[in-house]
Amino acid sequence: MKSMRYLVAVGLAVIVACAGAAGLVSGAKSQLEGVARVDVVVAELAPPSDGFENYLLVGTDSREGVDPNDPDYATMGGDLGSQRSDTIMILRYDTVAQTAALMSFPRDLYVTIGNGEKKNRINTTYSLGADMLIRTIRANFNIPIHHYVEINFQGFKELVDAVGGVRVCVPYGAKDKNTGLRIHRGCNLLNGVKALRFARSRHYYQFINNKWQLEGTGDIGRTARQRQFVAALLKDTVKYSAANPFGVGGVMRSIVGAVTADPALDIASFLKRLKPAADGSIASYGLDVENDVVNDMSVVKLAGNSRSVLEYFAGIGPAPVVEPPA
């Protein structure tokens, strides 16, 4: 499962963690009113569900307006000005137990587009509009989407830097020459540029038994790494907020510049409700998939435990066993 592509979730994670600092939520509320809104999703959002809320988190990747001299410019995919979804995740919040769970969709997951008959990879639906992405998720998986949150990768980079970087621990040294990633075994403090390299890595090599070996799981492994990053970001942002209460305003300003949400989402109230998740206790779920080729296009299709995970996020099944830590 490929995406964490955690970036959207990452931006959300920063917001949630900032809310953990005492007395900051009320002060942040006025700043957060500047978050951009996307009206097109309103008609597709679900009415309230009993006991849970689902937030669709979408990370977008575009080079539009980016300085070619940016150290991260060469690692960005897509054409100049193109806009695509690079992360598709759902955050499920239990309104009774006040707990949260995160699930990511592989970008290459083969789905029926919207309510129609055409099929393609799920990440292609974003180019047809955020409303089409929501409609596709509902039609294919019966999962209600109550709110929509989007963050762009460039904004994400600024968010990571605003909290002083995020500490990520890995069992082996790792590199990806395509993104410029290079991290050592153990814990690494990643700034915004390095975090994006970690998130974008599709050719993730690990130094095992004195030689570099391709991790091999492709987007499945990348999704797991991205969810790991979200948990790390939550914890580190809490520490930052507690130690630097006067620096949180800068974090909030970064959020306003990076995040887009549905018109009905009260972000400040949302942060308060998700504050318990800032201790890193968010349950992380990936979907089991298998590789396939359709019309000469490489895709993945659902397999294994996918049904139980999807039913939980649809509100019709119990919580599956949580994945072991990466």
Name the residue among 133, 76, 78, 93 with its Cα closest to residue 109: 133
Q: In this prediction, what percent of the chain has a pLDDT beyond 70? A: 75
Closest Cα to residue 313, out of 95, 115, 52, 107? 52
pLDDT digits (tens, 9 = 90+) for 136-165: 999 999 999 999 998 887 777 888 898 889
Spatial strand order of the sheet with 205-208 comes to 181-183, 174-176, 205-208, 211-214
pLDDT of residue 4: 43
Query: In a 3-state reduction of DSSP, which class is residue 121?
Result: strand
Count of all residues that appear for the chain in the document: 326
pTM, two decimals, is 0.81
Q: What is the pLDDT of residues 56-100, one digit of tens each?
A: 988 887 555 555 566 655 555 444 444 566 789 898 999 998 888
Which of the four CATH numbers 3.40.50.720, 2.40.440.10, 3.30.420.40, 3.40.630.190 does domain 7-163+219-314 have?
3.40.630.190
DSSP 8-state assignment for residue 214: E
Return the structure tokens found at 160: 């990571």
pLDDT digits (tens, 9 = 90+) for 247-283: 767 777 777 777 889 999 987 777 666 665 566 678 8
Which pair of tokens denotes residue 153? Answer: 């990768």
For the record, the structure tokens of 18 come out as 């900032």
What distance in Å separates the CA atoms of residue 242 and residue 258, rounded to the nearest whole number? 23
Residue 95 φ/ψ, nearest 5 degrees: -75, -15
Place of tokens 């499920």: 92
Residue bearing the bigger pLDDT, 304 or 308: 308
Where are the extended beta strands (E) located within the chain?
36-37, 52-61, 84-94, 99-104, 110-112, 119-121, 147-152, 166-170, 174-176, 181-183, 186-190, 205-208, 211-214, 259-261, 283-285, 289-294, 297-302
Of the CA atoms within 13 Å of residue 200, those in its CB half-sphere come to: 28
Nearest-angstrom CA–CA distance, 30 and 59 = 24
C-alpha distance from residue 228 to each of 12, 100, 127, 198, 222 (Å): 14, 15, 27, 11, 10
Domains in the chain: boundaries: 7-163+219-314
Q: Which residue has the tokens 């990806």?
A: 176
For 192-233, the pLDDT digits (tens) are: 999 889 888 889 999 999 999 999 887 778 777 877 777 777
